[in-house]
Amino acid sequence: MSERAAIPLPFPSPADKHDLEEGGVFTPRFDEDGLIACITLDARDGTVLMFAYMNAESLRLTLETGEAHYWSRSRKSLWRKGETSGQVQKVVEIRTDCDQDVLLLNVEPGGDGGACHTGRRSCFYRRLIADSNGVRLVKDEA
């Protein structure tokens, strides 16, 4: 993320499937609630830090500032990652999938390097185990 400029809203709509999948115009596909899924990775080692949603405004702010902004579905408000925790996420790269309905952020995490509100580095600290006893969660060793 090198050049910063004012990003106009709304983002353009894709002309057709070919343009969406192969074209050079960024046309994010927000869902019926105006949200797009966002997976965030640590740019240093590829660890999945978190999953969140963005709306058009949080995406615009992320592009303009170079710091990750998300939309909180529970609070129904914008939030800049690290605003209270110090875990500011400096965006290194943003990718989108083939049909532009998911974003992938590569970030340099600030503060203690974590991303989870539980105090862990990653929000993905539990594994599902399915066996004859059913399905259960097992925490990773800290």
**Residue ranges of domains in the chain, CATH in brackets:** 17-139 (3.10.20.810)
What local confidence, expressed as pLDDT, does residue 3 receive?
Answer: 61
Q: Identify any residues that bridge with 124 across adjacent strands, giving them in sequence order.
A: none
Q: Identify any residues that bridge with 102 across adjacent strands, giving them in sequence order.
A: 37
Low-confidence ranges of the chain (pLDDT < 70): 1-5, 142
What are 3's two structure tokens? 């050049």
85 residue type, one letter: S
What local confidence, expressed as pLDDT, does residue 12 receive?
Answer: 82
Residue 58 CA to residue 36 CA, distance in Å, equals: 10
In this structure, the strands spanning 69-72 and 89-96 are unpaired
What local confidence, expressed as pLDDT, does residue 2 receive?
Answer: 55
Average pLDDT, the chain: 92
In this structure, the strands spanning 102-109 and 36-42 are parallel
Phi, psi angles (nearest 5°) of residue 135: -115, 130
| Polymer length in residues for the chain | 142
Residue 125 CA to residue 61 CA, distance in Å, equals: 29
Q: Is 23 exposed, middle or buried (0-12, 13-18, 19+ CB in 10 A)?
A: middle
